[in-house]
A and B are shown apart, each in its own frame.
Chain A
Amino acid sequence: MYLNANNISYAYKKNKPILKNLSISIPDNKVIGLMGDSGSGKSTLCKVISGYIKNYTGTVTLDNNLIETKDFYPIQLIFQHPEKTMNPKWKMHKVLSESWNPPQELMDTFGLKDNWLGRWPNELSGGELQRFSILRALNPKTKFIIADEISTMLDAVTQVQIWDALLDYCKQNKIGILAVSHDKELLEVIADDILLFNEINKL
Chain B
Amino acid sequence: MSSLSKLNPLNSMNLRQKTILLIGLIVLLLVLVYASSLSIDPANILTDFTLRNQPPSFEHLFGTDWLGRDMLTRTIKGLGLSIFIGAVASILSSILAIIMAFISSVNKYGDVLIAWLIDFFASIPHLLLLIMISICLGKGAMGVIIGVACTHWTSLARVLRVEIKEIQTSEYVQLSEKFGKNKFWIAKEHILILVITQVIVGTLLIFPHAIMHEASITFLGFGLSPHEPAIGIILSESMSYLTTGAWWLAVFPGVMLLIIVLLFDILGEEVEKLLDPTKAQK
Contacts and interface: CB of A to CB of B under 8 A. Distances in A.
A86 B170 CA distance: 9
A70 interface: yes
B176 interface: yes
Interface residues of A, number: 20
The winner among B170, B174, B178, B190 for most chain A CB atoms within 10 A is: B178
A73 B171 CA distance: 15
Interface string A64-79: 0000001111001101
A117 B181 CA distance: 22
A25 interface: no
A51 interface: yes
Given A89-B193, A89-B194, A84 B178 contact: no
A139 B179 CA distance: 9
B176 A51 contact: no
A72 B176 CA distance: 9
Could you tell me the dominant secondary structure of chain A's interface residues? loop
Interface residues of B, number: 14
B178 A76 contact: yes
Nearest to B196: A89
Interface string A60-99: 0000000000111100110100001111111000000011
B178 A50 contact: yes
B175 interface: yes
Contacts of A87: 172, 190, 193-194
Contacts of A77: 175, 178
Given A87-B190, A87-B194, A89-B194, A51 B178 contact: yes
A84 B193 contact: no
A52 interface: yes
Given A52-B174, A89-B194, A98 B181 contact: yes
Contacts of B181: 98
Given A84-B170, A84-B171, A89-B194, A98 B180 contact: no
Interface of A: 50-52, 70-73, 76-77, 79, 84-90, 98-99, 139
Q: Across chains A and B, which 5 residue pairs bring their CB atoms closest together, nearest first?
A: A72-B180, A73-B178, A85-B171, A89-B193, A84-B171
